[in-house]
Structures are given as C-alpha cells and as structure tokens.
Amino acid sequence: MKKLYGHPESLYDISTKYCGGCGHGIIHRIITELVDEMGLREKAIITNPVGCAIWADLYFNFDSVQPPHGRTPAAATGIKRILPDHLVICYQGDGDMAAIGTAEMIHAANRGEKFTTIFVNNAIYGMTGGQMAPTTLVGQRATTAPYGRDPGEAGMGYPIRVCELLAQLDGTRYIARGAVNTAANIRKAKGYIKKAFEAQMAGIGFTMVEVLSPCPTNWSMDPVKAVEWLEDNMIPAFPLGEVKNNLGAQTVRTAAQLPAVPEDTAPVPENAGAKDIARGAA
Ligand SMILES: Cc1ncc(C[n+]2csc(CCOP(=O)(O)OP(=O)(O)O)c2C)c(N)n1
Ligand code: SF4
Ligand SMILES: [Mg+2]
C-alpha cells in the first residue's frame, strides 16, 4: 500500500512552543520530511540557533548541538569536517545569523564549508520581544525602532539581503530564497532545501536556503494578516528564487580559474621560519 500522508519520523509528535501562525514549525516540517524521504535520520545533525527555535532539539528526532548565539556555523564546520558523510544542518534566525554571528557566517561561507544553512528570516528578533534585526524593513516598527527603521537621519542602516551578500563569495555553491506564505511557496522552499541537502550529500560546498517566515506576535498581527504582510512587504524586498546555482561542474570556478600568485614570485615573510614553531615543533 502506498503511503500518501503521515507524520515525519524525524519530527517528534508533540506540541511546539511556537506561537500560532509562526513559520518555524512549517520549516521544521519541511526539513524533517526531507530527512525522512532521503533516509538520513541516522545521519542528520542540526546545530540549533539561539532565538525562538532554541528548543529545536525538542522537536527534531535526530542529533542536535546547541552552540552559543550566532556561533552555529563554527560548530557546524567542526562537525561536518569530522563527519563528512553526515547531513549537517545549520539552523539560524536573522538576528542569530545576520547580526550576532555575522563573522562566523561569512567566513564559513567563504571557506566553502560543506554543510547546509537554513536561514529563517522573519525581519525581527522574535524571541527577545521584537527588536530591530539587520533584515527589518525600512519603515518597519520594532521595539528599538518605534517610529520605523530609518536608514537616513536615524542611521539605522538598510535591510541586509544575506543571499545576495553570500552569493558574491567564491566559496558558496547554492543559495536560494523561499517563503512559507502559501502552499505553492512551501513546496518551492522544500525543493530548494532538497537541492541543498542533495548537494551537501554529494560533497559539494556551501549551500544555504533563506526562508521568509511570519512572526505574527512581534509584528502585532493575527496570523492571516501576517502572511499578507509578508507577501506585500517582505517578498518585494527579498525576492524569491535561486540566487546562485553553481552546482553544475561547468559553472564552478575551480581553483585553477581563480587568480593566484605564482609560487616563485610569492613574497616570503621575514619570519617564515617561525612556521615550525607555530606547528608546535619548538
Ligand atoms: C551573544 C548573545 N547576544 C544576545 C542574546 C539574546 N538573544 C537571544 S535570542 C535573540 C534574538 C534572536 O532573534 P533571531 O535570531 O532573529 O531569531 P527568532 O527568534 O526571530 O527566530 C537575542 C538577541 C544572546 N542570547 N546571546
Ligand atoms: S515570537 Fe515570532 S518567531 Fe517566536 S515563536 Fe512567536 S511567532 Fe514565532
Ligand atoms: Mg528573527
């Protein structure tokens, strides 16, 4: 008999702590459906964010690690390097990734670390009560921007488009942005995450899927209005689709195609001999 619908084995069958209309639960569901479909439950490891998804280990029925806020890319780097045949998922919110852990995120992407980041963008610091995030829209109100984000006189900066930023880096291979506002977009987001997971399991470099996600509580809206607000305001600011697809061998810039200094002309630092000391020879 063919099973048409069921609860994913990788998702515990319990109520979550998320507010009604929150996008995190849908994103958990997409991830766990894929882990089941790909038969990877025994090989999946998630690094939890700090933020509303900090309790993700209560929901995901596979291994998890809880690094400090913003440091999940550093933890995921270590895990994936030690266990390259595992599916390592780095789950991050927008405050977690684009503010508190900016350095970790950029350098992991630039190094081409071979894990997959799921970046949940709800344009706000959800867990701590609605402070402005790097992705908060111009004019959007937050507890720390009560008159709306103002990049002008108030000097609050502009919303950071993380996908486009990371797409510039040679270490990144697949970057896409989806949303969980409609059934069709949920299916598309699942397709992007599937592609990223498959690329990871094929040993290809850094992959990331951003997912635009409603936070009705901190947007002070009911769940239906929050979905409409996401459609009307977030999608125009953060366009959906594949931002970078460098998975095909023919499109990859190999090391040989990147500008490099010929070895015989490379400058030699005066204290180059100190490398033995740095390696612990002394
Ligand atoms: C180093 C550090 N700074 C700040 C905090 C407080 N803090 C916890 S969650 C959070 C906001 C998280 O927002 P986001 O990553 O967007 O996740 P969301 O709750 O919106 O899903 C902050 C600032 C912390 N725990 N550690
Ligand atoms: S505060 Fe926002 S992000 Fe956090 S659980 Fe509630 S709706 Fe979701
Ligand atoms: Mg957030």
Q: pLDDT tens track of the chain, all 282 residues?
A: 787 889 999 999 999 999 999 999 999 999 999 999 999 999 999 999 999 999 999 999 999 999 999 999 999 999 999 999 999 999 999 999 999 999 999 999 999 999 999 999 999 999 999 999 999 999 999 999 999 999 999 999 999 999 999 999 999 999 999 999 999 999 999 999 999 999 999 999 999 999 999 999 999 999 999 999 999 999 999 999 999 999 986 455 556 666 777 777 877 777 765 555 555 444
Atom 12 of ligand 1: nearest residue by CA position? 51
- CA 109 / ligand 2 centre spacing (Å): 27
25 lines ligand 1 (CB under 6 A): no
Domains contained in the chain, CATH given: 24-278 (3.40.50.970)
SS3 category, 169? coil
Atom 25 of ligand 1: nearest residue by CA position? 69
Q: State how far the Cα of 19 lies from the Cα of 202, in Å rounded to an integer.
A: 36
122 lines ligand 1 (CB under 6 A): yes
Q: State how far the Cα of 122 lies from the Cα of 219, in Å rounded to an integer.
A: 9
Torsion of CA 55, 58, 60, 66, to 10 degrees: 50
The pTM of the whole model exceeds 0.85: yes
| Per-residue pLDDT, 110 | 97
Q: State how far the Cα of 238 lies from the Cα of 97, in Å rounded to an integer.
A: 16
Residues with a CB atom less than 6 Å from ligand 2? 18-19, 22, 24, 52, 122, 126-127, 215-218
Atom 4 of ligand 1: nearest residue by CA position? 69
The 10 Å Cβ neighbour count of residue 54 is 17
